[in-house]
């Protein structure tokens, strides 16, 4: 499902205040073939079909030092964003089909890098960046059970930019 389809008729409220559930977060990736033209964010594919778990981690990077008379000190030097996508395989979902394609499963380097947006459905606030798609499991399980998938999306390159979803995007 394209981001524009998911957000059709929905307008996040910048003034939203209240509880947020896991279902209120949107992760969408650019599955278009790389070329000279940039894909509109509204055409990104939403990562949701068959997904049971979307674990968004910031993975802080720290430096530990010990100073005379001051003792041990920890300084944050960065953050390495990652998403763990787990769930059941659904053939026909554009996001899963892309991430589990032969060229991505066995690809390396820039061949597995995709653009993404991640934001709260309720207020539209989030981030935009690039991740490497790392497939840990492309299906498996016990007899009679759904085939499970385990995909990791890990930040690559520059720090993600602040991003706020807008209904006018891509029009």
Evaluate whether residue 19 is within a structural domain.
yes
Tens digit of each residue's pLDDT (9 = 90 or more) over 1-43: 999 999 999 999 999 999 999 999 999 999 997 766 789 999 9
Evaluate whether residue 88 is within a structural domain.
yes
Tens digit of each residue's pLDDT (9 = 90 or more) over 76-85: 999 999 999 9
CATH code where residue 134 lies: 2.40.30
Evaluate whether residue 67 is within a structural domain.
yes
Mean pLDDT score of the chain: 94
Evaluate whether residue 169 is within a structural domain.
no
Report the domain count for the chain.
1
In contact, 56 and 126? CB cutoff 8 Å: no
Q: Name the pTM for this structure.
A: 0.91
Give the pair of three-digit tokens for residue 87.
């769930």
| Structural domain harbouring 152 | 3-164
In contact, 150 and 86? CB cutoff 8 Å: yes
Tens digit of each residue's pLDDT (9 = 90 or more) over 60-116: 999 999 999 999 999 999 999 999 999 999 999 999 999 999 999 999 999 999 999
Distances (CA, A) of 75 to 17, 82, 157, 165: 32, 21, 21, 32
- What pLDDT does residue 170 have? 47
Evaluate whether residue 170 is within a structural domain.
no
Evaluate whether residue 171 is within a structural domain.
no
């Amino acid at each position: 499902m394209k981001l524009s389809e998911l957000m059709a008729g929905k307008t996040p409220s910048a003034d939203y205040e209240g509880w947020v559930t896991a279902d209120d977060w949107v992760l969408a990736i650019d599955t278009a073939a790389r070329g000279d033209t940039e894909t509109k964010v509204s055409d990104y594919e939403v990562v949701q079909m068959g997904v049971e778990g979307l674990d968004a981690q910031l993975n802080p990077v720290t430096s530990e030092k010990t100073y005379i008379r001051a003792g041990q000190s920890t300084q944050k030097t960065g953050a390495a964003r990652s998403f763990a996508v787990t769930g059941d395989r659904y053939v026909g979902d554009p996001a899963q089909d892309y991430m589990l394609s032969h060229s991505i499963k066995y690809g390396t380097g820039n061949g597995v890098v995709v653009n993404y947006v991640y934001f709260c459905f309720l207020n539209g606030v989030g981030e935009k960046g690039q991740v490497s798609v790392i497939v840990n499991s492309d299906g498996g399980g016990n007899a009679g059970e759904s085939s499970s998938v385990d995909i990791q999306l890990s930040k690559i390159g520059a720090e993600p930019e602040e991003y706020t979803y807008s209904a006018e995007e891509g029009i």
